[in-house]
Every structure is written in structure tokens, then in C-alpha cells.
Amino acid sequence: MALGAKPAVVVRMVVARVALIVGLGVAIGAVLSFWAAQFVEKLLFGLRPRDPLTLAIAALMLAAIGIAAGWIPARRATRIEPAEVLREG
């Protein structure tokens, strides 16, 4: 922003990077959960170990929380005046 970037562009850039990282994490986690399901199958009562609905809901919740964890600080950072940050640094 100190070099002329608009706040919306900065937020979009941060959220895009966070979405990429979260997407990779959810994909890797989905693969690992299918593998690990065989070990916890006996501990689950009333739930199939590879239930697609449960896995989809968990993946969507993790993705939403991860993106919010990137969006909220990025949005707050755009409200700070760049000149103040440069003076303090």
C-alpha cells in the first residue's frame, strides 16, 4: 500500500495465497484421513470411518476458518496508514 497498491488488491492477494495453502492442507488432510480411517474404525460408534458427508463438512469448515484467519488480519492491516508504519519501523 505504501507503493500505491489499493487495499482491496492487497486483501485479495493475501486471501488468494491463504486459500492456496488451505486448499493444499485440506487436500493432503483428506488423503491422510482416508488412510488413517482404518486405524480408528473400531473407535467410531454410529459413524462410518469414510463417511463422505462428514468429511466434506469438516473440510468446508476448516477451509472457511483458514480463509477467515487470513482475511481478518489482512483487512485490519489495510486500515493502517502506511506512512505511520514506515515512521515506526
* Per-residue tens of pLDDT for the chain, all 89 residues: 556 778 889 899 999 999 999 999 999 999 998 898 888 888 877 778 788 888 899 999 999 999 999 999 999 988 888 777 778 76
Q: What is this structure's pTM? A: 0.76
State the pLDDT at residue 12.
92
Task: In whole angstroms, give the CA distance from residue 72 to residue 35.
Answer: 33
Do residues 6 and 47 lie in contact, with contact meaning Cβ atoms separated by under 8 Å? no
Dist CA 85 CA 62 (whole Å)? 32
Distance CA 25, CA 63 (A): 9
Reading the block at residue 20, the C-alpha cell is 492456496
Q: What is the pLDDT of residue 16?
A: 95
Nearest by Cα to 58 from 29, 19, 83: 29
